[in-house]
Amino acid sequence: MTCTRKMALHQKISWGAPMGDQLPVQVSITEIKNETPSVKTFFFDREFSFEPGQFVMVWIPGVDEVPMALSSANGITVQNVGDATGALFGCTAGTSLGIRGPFGNGFTRGEKMLAIAGGVGAAPLLPLTRSDCVMTMLLGARTEKELLFVDQLDESTDVIIATDDGTLGQHGFVTDLMKDLSLATYDRIAVCGPEPMMKAVLAKIDSLGFASRTEFSLQRYMKCGVGICGSCCIDPDGLRVCRDGPVFSGDLLKKSEFGHYLRDASGRKKNI
Amino acid sequence: MVVLRTGPVTVGGVALDNHLILAAGVLGTTGASLSRMLTLGAGGVVTKSIGPQPKDGHAGPCVAVLDNGILNAMGLPNPSREFADELKPLEKKPAIVSIFGGNPGEFAEVAGWFKGKAAGFELNLSCPHAEGYGAAIGVDPALVEACTRAVCALGMPTWVKLTPNVTDIATIGKAAERGGATAIVAINTLKAMRISTGMRRPVLGNRFGGLSGDAIFPVAVRCVYELYEACTIPIIGCGGVSTADSVIEMMMAGARAVEIGSAVQRDIGIFETIKNDLYAKNGTAPEDIVGCAHG
C-alpha cells in the first residue's frame, strides 16, 4: 500500500512566507450530516488543501472562532461541547462561516499504519485512512450509536471496534484491542481521541517500546492559531499546539503536561 | 550596515542578555514558553499582561495575519494572581511582568503579587481594545503619572508602555517620567480594523483591534524620536522591529533596546537571526549610536 494519492486539488499553502492578507475565507454550509446523536459533519462550498491532522479556525459570526480538524477537504466533523459548537449545531445549509487555515502539522505518513480513534477523534483520521496508508484502525466509543464513520472507515481499512458498554465489538476500551495486535507490524501509529484515552494508549505503547513511532493529535484552548499568542503552549518545553503541533510524537509527550492538565481561556491550569 | 559591540546591557534597571526583548502578549502566557524564548536568544522577555481578575478575553476571531502586520484583539486574557506559578522557572532570569489595572490601586495590587519574583514591571497603559483598561488610562497624563507612581513605590524597575493613539506621545512620556518610571516602552499597537467583504462584518470578534508589525515601524520610529527629545529616562523601541537594521534604526531614533513581537509569527528563531547580524566583537559601542539621528 502506498500514500501517493493527492489529498487535494491545490498546492499546499505555506503560511510562513509573505502571501498577502490571510483574512478569514467566507464559505457557505452546503450540507449538514448527522453522524451520531452528538456529532455532525458540516460540508462547505469550498475545498482546502490540507494534510490529515491539520486544523482550521472556524468563525461562527457573532459567536466565536474555534479550531476544528478537517475531516475532508471541504468538511469539519464536530461534537457539540460548548457555546461555539452549540451555535454551529443551530446553523442550517446556506449559513456563512469564516475559515482561516489550514494550520499546524499533520500526521507523519507511513506505509503500514495503525490508527487509533476514540469518539470524535476519528475525524482527522478519516482522511488519513482515505489516503490508503492505514492497514488497521481501532475505533472506540462510549456506545454503538456514538461510533463515528464506521462505514466510511471500513471502505479503506480494517476496522476493529470497542465500546465502553459492549453494545458493539469488544466490551471495553481501545487499549483492550491492542492486546491482540502485533504493533511491530506497523511503521507508524496515529492516535486521536479524548486525552485520558490517548494517555492510556501512550502508556501501553511506551511499555512496548513504540512511543517514537506513534503520534497523538492534541487539543488545547487556542486564540490565534498561528503561533503567536501563546495560549496553547504545553509544558515543559513551551511548544505551541497550533504551530509546532497539533500532532506530537509519543516520545515528546511522555514527559509533558499531556494527560495531566491543560490551561483554560484565561491561562489557568485545569486538571484533566 | 552598523553592527554593535557585544557587552553587558542594562536598560531601565533590568540587566538583559542582549538588546532584543520579547514584547508583551507574544508567547507570554506560560513560564515554559517564556523560557523557550530566552533559550531561543531573547535578551529578556515580557509576560502576557496580568490584571486584577482572571479574564477569558474577547470572543474570536482574535487575530488576522496581514501581509505587512498583524491585527489582534485578544482582550487581555490572563490568569491573574495564579500567574505567579508560571514565574517559577524564570527566577533570576530577565523576565518582566506586564501589568494592567483600572486605576492606580489595582496596578499596585497586581504588581505587589509579583514583587521580588521578576526582574521588573512593564505597565500596560496602552492596549487599544480593552474597555476601562490600557489606552483608556494611557491617554490621560494624570492617570499615567498616578499609576506609574503607585507601582514605583514597590521599588522595582518599572517600565511604562505607551500608546501611539494620542495627539502628543511626548506629553504621556513625560507623565510616566514624573511618576518615576525607569524606562518608557514605545509603542503599543495602533487602533485598527479590517472588514471581511465576504462576511460583511469586521474580521475581529471585538470589531476593533491593534495593528502591529512592519506596517507600524515608521510610526514607532517617529514616537521614539519624539520621546527622546522630551524625556531623559531610557526608551525601549517597539513596533515592527524585524531585522538587525531596524534595531539600529530604532537606536538611532533614541532607543536603548528594542522589543520584538509580530516578527516571531514568521520565525520563532528571529532573535538568533537578528543577533547574528547585529553583533560583532569589533562593532560600534551602542552609546555612540543611541539617539545619533538627533541634532
- State how far the Cα of A127 lies from the Cα of A54, in Å rounded to an integer: 11
User: What contacts B154, CB < 8 A, 6 or more positions away?
Assistant: B108, B111, B112, B115, B121
Each of the 295 residues of chain B gets a pLDDT tens digit; together they read: 899 999 899 999 999 999 999 999 999 999 999 999 999 999 999 999 999 999 999 999 999 999 999 999 999 999 999 999 999 999 999 999 999 999 999 999 999 999 999 999 999 998 877 778 878 899 999 999 999 999 999 999 999 999 999 999 999 999 999 999 999 999 999 999 999 999 999 999 999 999 999 999 999 999 999 999 999 999 999 999 999 999 999 999 999 999 999 999 999 999 999 999 999 999 999 999 999 999 8
Does residue A92 sit in the same domain as residue A60?
yes
CATH number at residue A161: 3.40.50.80
Does residue A129 sit in the same domain as residue A242?
yes
Average per-residue pLDDT for chain A: 93
- State how far the Cα of B31 lies from the Cα of B197, in Å rounded to an integer: 39
Specify the number of domains making up chain A: 2
Does residue A89 sit in the same domain as residue A154?
no
Omega of the bond leading into A246 within 30 degrees of 0 (cis): yes
Nearest to A193 by CA among A130, A138, A253, A256: A138
Contact B80 A63 (CB under 8 A): no
CATH number at residue A95: 2.40.30.10
Residue whose entry in the numeric block shows the C-alpha cell 462584518: B201
User: What domain range includes position A121?
Assistant: 113-271
Radius of gyration of chain A (CA): 18
User: What contacts A189, CB < 8 A, 6 or more positions away?
Assistant: A113, A114, A115, A116, A183, A205, A210, A213, A214, A215
Does residue A38 sit in the same domain as residue A117?
no
Of all residues in chain B, the one with the smallest CA distance to A230 is B27
- State how far the Cα of B255 lies from the Cα of B293, in Å rounded to an integer: 11
Tell me whether residue A13 is in a domain.
no
- Of B62, B127, B152, B223, the catalytic one is B127
Does residue A128 sit in the same domain as residue A154?
yes
- How many Cβ pairs closer than 8 A exist between chain A and B? 148
Q: How far is CA B277 from the centre of its chain?
A: 22
Task: List chain B residues with CB under 8 Å of A228.
Answer: 26-27, 63, 70, 261-262, 264-265
Does residue A73 sit in the same domain as residue A204?
no
Q: Which of A13, A15, A19, A23 best probes binding to B when mutated, by most B CB atoms within 10 angstroms?
A: A23
User: What domain range includes position B183?
Assistant: 9-289
Tell me whether residue B175 is in a domain.
yes
Domain boundary among A103, A133, A167: A103
Contact B29 A263 (CB under 8 A): yes
Catalytic annotation present for B127: yes
Domain boundary among A78, A103, A128: A103
Contact B78 A267 (CB under 8 A): yes
Q: Is the pLDDT of residue A234 over 70?
A: yes
Q: Which of A65, A228, A232, A261 best probes binding to B when mutated, by most B CB atoms within 10 angstroms?
A: A228
What is the complex's ipTM, to 2 decimals? 0.96
| Portion of chain A with pLDDT greater than 90, in percent | 92
3-class SS string, chain B: CCCECCCCEEECCEEECCCEEECCCCCCCCHHHHHHHHHCCCCEEECCCECCCCECCCCCCCEEEECCEEEECCCCCECHHHHHHHHHHHCCCCEEEEECCCCHHHHHHHHHHCCCCCCEEEEECCCCCCCCCCHHHHCCHHHHHHHHHHHHCCCCCEEEEECCCCCCHHHHHHHHHHHCCCEEEECCCEEECCEECCCCEECCCCCCEEEECHHHHHHHHHHHHHHHHHCCCCEEEECCCCCHHHHHHHHHHCEEEEEECCHHHHCCCHHHHHHHHHECCCCECHHHHCCCCCC
Nearest residue, CB atoms, A24 vs list B28, B82, B203? B203
Tell me whether residue B40 is in a domain.
yes
| Portion of chain A with pLDDT greater than 70, in percent | 93
Tell me whether residue B58 is in a domain.
yes
CA A6 to chain B, closest CA, distance in angstroms equals 27
Tell me whether residue B55 is in a domain.
yes
Does residue A38 sit in the same domain as residue A164?
no
Domain boundary among A43, A72, A103: A103
Does residue A156 sit in the same domain as residue A245?
yes
Instruction: For A80-94, write each residue's pLDDT tens digit.
Output: 998 999 999 999 999
Tell me whether residue B116 is in a domain.
yes
Contact A229 B63 (CB under 8 A): yes
CA B62 to chain A, closest CA, distance in angstroms equals 6
CATH number at residue B201: 3.20.20.70
DSSP state of A60: E
Whole-model pTM?
A: 0.95
pLDDT at A19: 59
Grade residue A15 by pLDDT with cuts at 50, 70 and 90.
very low
Tell me whether residue B2 is in a domain.
no
Tell me whether residue B1 is in a domain.
no
Specify the number of domains making up chain B: 1
Nearest residue, CB atoms, B32 vs list A15, A96, A233? A233
Of all residues in chain A, the one with the smallest CA distance to B61 is A65
Task: List chain B residues with CB under 8 Å of A16.
Answer: 266-267
- State how far the Cα of B221 lies from the Cα of B239, in Å rounded to an integer: 8
Q: Is the pLDDT of residue A1 over 50?
A: no
CA B50 to chain A, closest CA, distance in angstroms equals 10
Residue whose entry in the numeric block shows the C-alpha cell 492596549: B127
